[in-house]
Structure 1
Amino acid sequence: MARKRPTTPQPGTHHLTDVTAEIVQDLDADDGWMLLLDGVPNSYLNLNDPTHLEFEYQQWMARAVDLHKPGTEISLVHVGGGACAFPRYVAATRDGARQLVAEYNPELIALIREVFGIRTGPGLRIRAGDGRDVVAGQHSASADVLVRDAFVGPIVPPHLTTVEFLSDVARVLRPDGLYLANVTDGPPLGLARAEVATARATFAHVALVSETPVLKGRRYGNLTLIASPAPLPILDLTRLLARSVAPTRVLHGDELTKFVGGAAVTTDDNPLMPPPPPKHLIK
């Protein structure tokens, strides 16, 4: 990824179409900057270290990508861009990676280019548009990894959670491709259970990663959904995530079946409308 670092990013509030963006400096790290959208933390960038991922769910995704076809050049599609923290990580850790980022708000794309010095090039394209439409425009079997990390405020747009959307994701992925989705949910985890049920209706292999208190329904938090037509490296992923600061689990197989319970598959005709998250939500 071509990257031209700005001399000094400027903190401030930017009123964009449909969203208010805030740029906030991390007072504990000179090179750390947070992007908030409508008050919700969206992206954290360390301008001096693109491999730094502040959010734990992105660290979980990173381990999954690290294990996927290591040593090869991979192609990724990102539904939801923010400040491109995860694409920066991939560009810094996977030589020759080709990435397409779908970001709904063109004004936000212009803002991150100006403030954070994000530049497009042969390894990174950023396209303004609805993520589902961008996915629909991709060739079949053209991507190794597809990442869904798109939110309107703290909520994933319902049309990005349905079996019809996931069917198109499966079409775009190669036969051994990887789907990664950021899910936010809390007790009783109805949204997460439905997301897993929908993924299992589409993909042969599915796993769910989160902190133990979240999986046990004790508090609100992030969960990472991992799915693929091919077997997942569960043992290697579990070993890597065991190094996490917080207790982290990987649910799969019978454990995941128990977690899903009787949750129904989400469809375009019957989308799941998530309840409002807690006001103190930290992404």
Structure 2
Amino acid sequence: MTTEERAIAALERHAASLRARLPSEVTALLRASLGWAGTDPARNSLTPGFPPLEYSFSTWHPDELRVTAQLFLNRPAPDRRRRTAELMHRLTGRQVIAKDGRARRFGAFFGITAGPAGLTGVEAYVEDVALAGHGLRPVFTGIGVRDGVPTRRSYLAVTEDVRPGDLPGVPGMRKALHSVAGGRTVLPAGSVMVTTGGTMRSVELLAAATGLTPTALPARLPRLRTAEYARWAAAIGADAAHLTVVSVRFDAHRGPGVAIYAVPRWASQAGPTSCFI
């Protein structure tokens, strides 16, 4: 079985274990778009050291299948960005404008979410080459459709050492950030990304900077002590899965939330880093 075949088979098993319906046409599009043939899948910008498929769990949508991928791996970054935008248009009917400028690093990532009734969201994470303020570096812009509603978010890497208490957020967010950081007084540059867009903002912490594992997180974050998280952790093989990112979120309508990103057991090779280092 090729790595691509293993990836799709694992994705289908993961969907089945979460009781999410992944439409067959979406699976077929993903299989055709991986573009791993003739490449080393571990050489990617999403999950370096692993094939570029990252699973996640969100306390806002605990019953969903959530997957992010770097598609068209055998294409240069500008072409990858264009093709990812075209794929999103094919699935949603909405145009994604890939800005002019040089996509030098990864071009784009692609994300899908699905629940029991089928596909619920599609998002293109388009490489951003714009300038930002002091201490921040743009990573990508997330342009998506969620339940028929368009979304747009900006993702900025923090390029300086930062204290958890200095990160943006409401009191509930700050408490969760403190729990994830585990008393660390300083988080190193490149280990934090902030997200803004609409009514939502988040702070994403690179797991390597916190020393956490999927099984250790519920002890620090009570919101993860649920049957849904336990089922997700079992589906990815949490004892051997590598945690990549912990995202602490706040939305004016939904309140605080947590999202967990991990590379599952089947793909384990070595500890991954992250695209926003």
**TM-score normalized by the length of structure 2:** 0.30
